[in-house]
Amino acid sequence: MDPEPDRPPGRLAEDLRRVLGERTAAALAKLGLRTVEDLVRHYPRRYAEPGRLTDLASLLPGEHVTVMAQVRQATVRDMRSRGGAMLAAVVTDGTRELSLTFFAKRRGALRPHEDRLRPGRVGLFTGTVGEYRGSLQLTHPDYQLIGDGADEEAAALAAASRPIPVYPASAAVPTWRIQRAVRTVLDPLTEDDVPDPIPPDVRSRHGLPGLLAALRLVHDPASEKEAYRAQHRLRFEEAFVLQSALARRRAEAAAVPGTARLGSPGARRSLLADFDRRLPFALTDGQREVGEQIATDLAATSPMQRLLQGEVGSGKTVVALRAMLQVVDSGGQAALLAPTEVLATQHLRTLRALLGTLAEEGMLGGEEHATRVVLLTGSQPAAARKEALLDAASGRAGIVVGTHALLGEHVQFADLGLVVVDEQHRFGVEQRDALRTRGDRSPHLLVMTATPIPRTVAMTVFGDLEVSTLTEVPSGRAGVVTHVVPADNPVWTARTWQRVREEVDAGRRAYVVCARIDDSGDQDGSEMVPVDEDEPASTDGSAPARPPLRAVLEVAAELEGLPALAGVAIGVLHGRLGAREKDEVMARFASGATPVLVATTVIEVGVDVPEASVMVVLDAERFGLSQLHQLRGRVGRGSHPGLCLLVSRAAEGTPSATRVQTLAATSDGFALATVDLELRREGDVLGASQSGRSSSLRLLRVVRDAELLATAREDARALVAADPGLGSWPALHAAIEAWLDPRREEFLERA
């Protein structure tokens, strides 16, 4: 039985049990390493220089560490109280000390340690840092002596002058056991066993070593310089494989012909022209410019593949609608996909309102050339769904608005010319593909996102799309003022609810956002910052105590009892409500029947109620910057200035406090996205988990490696253009296949 049929054949695919034996393989399996390839791709985290001791000041209790230190003393004594014996050693970095303790029933059992841990000897010590009477210690550490008196002669010789690879820390397997295992599997490999995904001319252009050489260098460098050279090459490989995969997607999609949708310029009956004429506002320069780009794309026979990113409230919907009208004017249909039913329903309402009689096909008062805009969602009543399906299949509906359900196989279009995907960060690449490969002709594709994506991330994750950007927000928009409200200040919190009251009395609406629905722990889409960010874990290793997050149901009940809000109707909205209920709640909020809405972050994306003027976010310090910015974008959309109150329990000076203050001080989403990336831990950027194995990106970091990514992209595009099937590059082809493994798609979806 081969559980992983997509692995390359040959030596790399060999099971470690066969190569290293059951015992070692079982230990490595705990790190998720099962094949020779897994092991050789398990790169050292850093390198220890034999002469350079680890700075012991940086150790934190609870951490699993590997340190290089020198033995200062070691003494064995009997323990009168407990019986048995104890060896206490002290190691040092020259300044600070760390204790090592070993316990045994009998003194004799400690003899081997005593013999080896002679004063003056240097070794690598690995274990979990504990605290005992105010000083740090490792209990029963694993260790390996190097240099004089080393555990193995060969190791002694080699280690004397070479950097020592230190592998990701793990209690299961000490780093030197990994090192030994890597050597064992790496030594007999030849170039033929390790096909290189980077073609030779790309390699020589950038002076990169071949794959086998790089693996040898990264695991066993003669100098740190060599290690860096190897890391650079392996990082480039990651960027190159990723960019080749994206370039191939582009090429594949472009190879399926699309249909030119010229619209009906100059014709007597043009929905687009009529729409433009009736638009109650002037398009912004950005909207006009991007609109022209899109119009040109649509008029071409190769399908458009464009990402439209625009600041919250920059008016992407109108841009999308104009594109859809050009397609409808050309006799085709357009589909608009939203990530949630709330948003789909809202889009339906918005489009119908914007189009007016132009959307009233077949209705009394509808224009002669009007079209029909229909909704298609998963939870729709059967009759409505059936009608919408018919309208889509017959071509009667020019515009179909829906959720993921639109991607279902049973949905037929008479002539689908354009797919607009709103809020792309909730959609995966796979879904993008599902749409593109519908039938023998590809529809044009417009992807929209309000999550500002720094250029490098856009290039990494959306490298298969052309990017347009709307930076400008329509003038006349009053904007949002943001304040941080300390949760423990009763005067401020009282003022918060009073402000809500004032807005309601003035005929406006307020959102109150909580991270949870109730105390079930369901966070309903909130992307909370890890608990341990601010405070180091307490000494016993447990997480610091934090007050629980505020919950929608609890807060709604509380507000109902608040004198400041007496007589104000309060609605609740969260992910556990049915689609119809959500709809009703949103409609009541929009109409002002319930002017205060307590909600989870289900309202984060795209909800547009122009009368909403205040947003109160509870536990604001626990939300990510981008999410807060999205949330804030829900207010100040009309002519009334928006007010965003971030209620925070963050202590002054903590990263959380910095985050909310940054948000209060900055309204530029792109600037915030960059700060967000810097504040987050490296791995989080791509949504890749820290486990290492779940992501193909081991060394590459999108922010740091922006230039490398750009270079790799050029090389990849040139290569794919010359050989779209990659027939001449089987190793690259195989690497891409492994990369596009469905188990890894998740990574592309969450950035």
CA 179/CA 167 separation, integer angstroms: 8
Question: How does strand 397-402 pair with strand 97-104?
Answer: unpaired
Among 202, 312, 447, 646, binds ligand ADP (CB under 6 A): 312
CA separation for the pair 229, 216 (Å, rounded):
11
Give least dist CB 291 to ligand ADP, A.
Answer: 11
CB of 642 to Mg ion, least distance (A): 16
Residue, CB closest to Mg ion: 606
* CB closer to ligand ADP, 518 vs 608: 608
Which of 294-302, 316-324, 384-392, 511-519 is the region at the interface with ligand ADP (rule: CB under 6 A)? 316-324
Q: Of the two residues 101 and 293, which places its CB atom closer to ligand ADP in the complex? A: 293
CB of 310 to Mg ion, least distance (A): 8
* Shortest CB 316 distance to ligand ADP, Å: 3
356 counts as binding ligand ADP under rule CB under 6 A = no
Judged by beta carbon distances under 5 to 8 A according to partner kind, the member of Mg ion, ligand ADP, none in contact with residue 136 is none
Q: Could you tell me the smallest distance in angstroms from the CB atom of residue 312 to ligand ADP?
A: 5
Half-sphere exposure for 255 (CA within 13 Å, toward CB): 11
Radius of gyration, CA atoms only, the chain: 31
Cβ proximity to ligand ADP: between 284 and 696 the closer is 284
Q: Which is nearer to ligand ADP, 48 or 358 (CB)?
A: 358
Which residue has the closest beta carbon to ligand ADP? Answer: 315
List of long-range contacts for 19-24, beta carbons under 8 Å, 24+ apart = 19/184, 19/185, 20/181, 20/184, 20/185, 24/177, 24/181
Q: What is the dihedral of CA 565, 570, 575, 581, to 10 degrees?
A: 180
Binder of residue 310, out of Mg ion, ligand ADP, none (CB less than 5 to 8 A by kind)? ligand ADP
The first and second tokens of residue 488, run together, are 């423990």
Instruction: Name residues contacting Mg ion, limited to 576-615 (CB under 5 A).
Output: 606
Q: Please say whether the beta carbons of 17 and 160 come within 8 A.
A: no
Site for ligand ADP in 251-290 (CB under 6 A): 281, 283-284, 287
Residue 238 or 311: which CB sits closer to Mg ion? 311
474 makes contact with ligand ADP (CB under 6 A): yes
Q: Which does 683 bind (CB under 5 to 8 A by kind): Mg ion, ligand ADP, none?
A: none
| Residue choice 123, 174, 303, 313 for contact with ligand ADP (CB under 6 A) | 313
Q: How far apart are CA 450 and CA 311, in angstroms?
A: 5
Tell which positions 11-30 bind ligand ADP, by CB under 6 A. none
β-partners of residue 416 are 333
Q: Among ligand ADP, Mg ion, none, what binds residue 281 when CB lies within 5 to 8 Å by partner kind?
A: ligand ADP
The closest of 141, 160, 161 to 152, measured between CA atoms, is 160
Tokens 């004799």 sit on residue: 108
Which entry of ligand ADP, Mg ion, none binds 402, CB below 5 to 8 A by partner kind?
none
Measured from the CB of residue 349, what is the shortest distance to Mg ion in angstroms?
13
Stretch 600-629: interaction string toward ligand ADP, x if CB under 6 A: ------x-x-x-------------------
User: From the list ligand ADP, Mg ion, none, which binds 284 (C-beta under 5 to 8 Å, kind-based)?
Assistant: ligand ADP
Total number of residues that touch ligand ADP (CB under 6 A): 18
We find the least distance from the C-beta atom of residue 457 to Mg ion, in angstroms, to be 20
Indicate which single residue of 216, 219, 261, 316 sits in contact with ligand ADP (rule: CB under 6 A).
316
The one-character DSSP state at 459 is H
- Say which entry of Mg ion, ligand ADP, none residue 127 contacts (CB below 5 to 8 A, set by partner kind): none
Helix (H) or strand (E) segment spanning residue 122: strand 122-132
> Considering only CA atoms, which of 80, 56, 151, 165 is closest in space to residue 112?
151
Minimum gap (Å) between residue 450 Cβ and ligand ADP: 5
Count of residues making up the chain:
751
How many angstroms separate the most distant Cα atoms in the chain? 103
Q: How many angstroms separate the CA atoms of 259 and 439, rounded?
A: 12
With contact defined as beta carbons under 8 Å apart, do 66 and 166 qualify?
yes
- Residue 184 or 471: which CB sits closer to ligand ADP? 471
d(CA 353, CA 376) in angstroms, rounded, equals 18
- The minimum distance between CB 314 and ligand ADP, in angstroms, equals 4
CB atoms closer than 10 angstroms to residue 552: 25
Distance of alpha carbon 637 from alpha carbon 610, whole angstroms = 5
Q: Which CB atom, from 643 or from 708, has the smaller least distance to ligand ADP?
A: 643
Which listed option, Mg ion, ligand ADP, none, makes contact with residue 243 (CB within 5 to 8 Å by class)? none
Question: Which of ligand ADP, Mg ion, none has residue 195 at its interface (CB below 5 to 8 Å by kind)?
Answer: none
Gap between the Cα atoms of 237 and 739, Å rounded: 12
Q: How far is the CB of 589 from ligand ADP (least distance, A)?
A: 16
SS (H, E, C) 509-569: EEEEECCECCCCCCCCCCCECCHHHCCCCCCCCCCCCCCCCCEHHHHHHHHHCCHHHCCCC
Among 637, 640, 659, 701, binds ligand ADP (CB under 6 A): 637
Helix (H), strand (E) at residue 297: helix 285-298
Task: Confirm or reject binding of residue 499 to ligand ADP (CB under 6 A).
Answer: no
* First-to-last C-alpha distance (Å) of the chain: 35
Q: Is there a contact between 202 and 722 (Cβ–Cβ < 8 Å)? A: no
Nearer to ligand ADP, 306 or 713 (CB): 306
Residues binding Mg ion (CB under 5 A): 606
Binding site for ligand ADP (CB under 6 A): 281, 283-284, 287, 310, 312-318, 450, 474, 606, 608, 610, 637
